[in-house]
């Protein structure tokens, strides 16, 4: 997960249209969930190759083709952050009045949203909002529909919202004890990080291994190649350190490339010596670790 700015202006024309607001007013005032239409929140169209969705297209632009929750570059569905028709384990009609709300629409991959993951889970810490705020004339108060405004913000959802919550305050990483990749770890006192991991299954095996493959494997291969050249005296000790430093520079550059997958992890591993030692060093041979750590310390100065 990474923090994302999704401007209101990026909404599709159909979501902005007065007809949509009128339709929403009817849904909100009659509570008729059967009127919720994916013609509006998907806005499908046929291009040369396939049926596509204008809303998916806009979300993909904002989220750089990544899933809002797992940060994999993956085909993403339109996911209603607050579920629109029911809330698992709660006596709640669902947040039907947020069905077309821009701050409630996120791109999510199938594995984070379905497959026994998020679906209609939406546990909260604060006060549950049960119904929309209606103004005179049975019009909905659109300001109260924004995820970052009251009363919704006071729900304090356990599930972090990538456009509201800064994931760096909620997560660290650790190695999987069975050697199957890299795990995300919740660190905040309220347990929102832990619960977000649980809701979207952010430590599933496929994702743990994906983090390792995308972020660690290229670095490890480069470092091993450098040490192999040193072993056959193709390079001397000075050149060895220079080449390691170059690879650390690559890690740093990749951490700032927002289009890459797993930017939260990429930032974490070079953040400080503690995270470098706990995540990066164990992937390398014991004989290499002290030299690499010394190079890191020098590079990080």
Q: Which residues bind Zn ion (CB under 5 A)?
A: 67, 69-70, 109, 112
Q: Which is nearer to Zn ion, 259 or 274 (CB)?
A: 259
To the nearest whole angstrom, how small is the minimum distance from the Cβ of residue 108 to Zn ion?
A: 6
Q: Which is nearer to Zn ion, 112 or 280 (CB)?
A: 112
To the nearest whole angstrom, how small is the minimum distance from the Cβ of residue 197 to Zn ion?
A: 12
Q: Which is nearer to Zn ion, 79 or 172 (CB)?
A: 79
Q: Which is nearer to Zn ion, 119 or 235 (CB)?
A: 119
To the nearest whole angstrom, how small is the minimum distance from the Cβ of residue 134 to Zn ion?
A: 35
Q: Which is nearer to Zn ion, 212 or 247 (CB)?
A: 212
To the nearest whole angstrom, how small is the minimum distance from the Cβ of residue 166 to Zn ion?
A: 19
To the nearest whole angstrom, how small is the minimum distance from the Cβ of residue 154 to Zn ion?
A: 27
Q: Which is nearer to Zn ion, 160 or 284 (CB)?
A: 160
The torsion defined by the Cα of 151, 36, 31 and 107, in degrees rounded to 10, comes to: -20
To the nearest whole angstrom, how small is the minimum distance from the Cβ of residue 2 to Zn ion?
A: 12
């Amino acid at each position: 997960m990474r923090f994302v700015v999704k401007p209101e202006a990026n909404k599709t024309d159909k979501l902005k249209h007065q007809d949509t607001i009128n339709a929403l007013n009817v849904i909100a005032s009659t509570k008729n969930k059967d009127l919720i239409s994916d013609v509006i929140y998907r806005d499908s169209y046929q291009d040369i190759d396939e049926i596509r969705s204008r809303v998916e297209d806009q979300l993909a632009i904002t989220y750089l083709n990544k899933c809002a929750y797992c940060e994999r570059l993956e085909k993403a569905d339109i996911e209603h952050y607050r579920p629109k028709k029911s809330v698992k384990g709660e006596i709640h009609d669902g947040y039907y009045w947020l069905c077309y709300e821009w701050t409630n629409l996120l791109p999510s991959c199938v594995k984070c949203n379905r497959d026994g993951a998020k679906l209609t889970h939406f546990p909260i810490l604060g006060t549950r909002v049960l119904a929309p705020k209606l103004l005179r004339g049975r019009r909905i108060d659109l300001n109260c529909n924004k995820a970052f405004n009251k009363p919704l913000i006071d729900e304090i959802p356990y599930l972090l919202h990538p456009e509201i919550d800064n994931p760096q305050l909620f997560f660290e990483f650790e190695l999987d004890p069975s050697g199957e990749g890299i795990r995300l770890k919740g660190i905040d006192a309220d347990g929102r990080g832990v619960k977000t991991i649980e809701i979207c299954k952010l430590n599933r095996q496929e994702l743990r291994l994906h983090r390792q493959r995308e972020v660690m494997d290229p670095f490890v291969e480069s470092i091993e190649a450098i040490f192999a050249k040193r072993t056959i005296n193709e390079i001397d000790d000075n050149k060895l350190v220079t080449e390691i430093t170059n690879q650390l520079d690559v890690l740093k550059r990749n951490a700032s490339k927002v289009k890459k997958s797993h930017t939260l992890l990429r930032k974490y591993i070079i953040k400080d010596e503690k995270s470098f030692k706990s995540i990066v060093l164990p992937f390398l041979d014991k004989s290499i670790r002290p030299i690499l750590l010394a190079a890191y310390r020098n590079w990080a100065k």
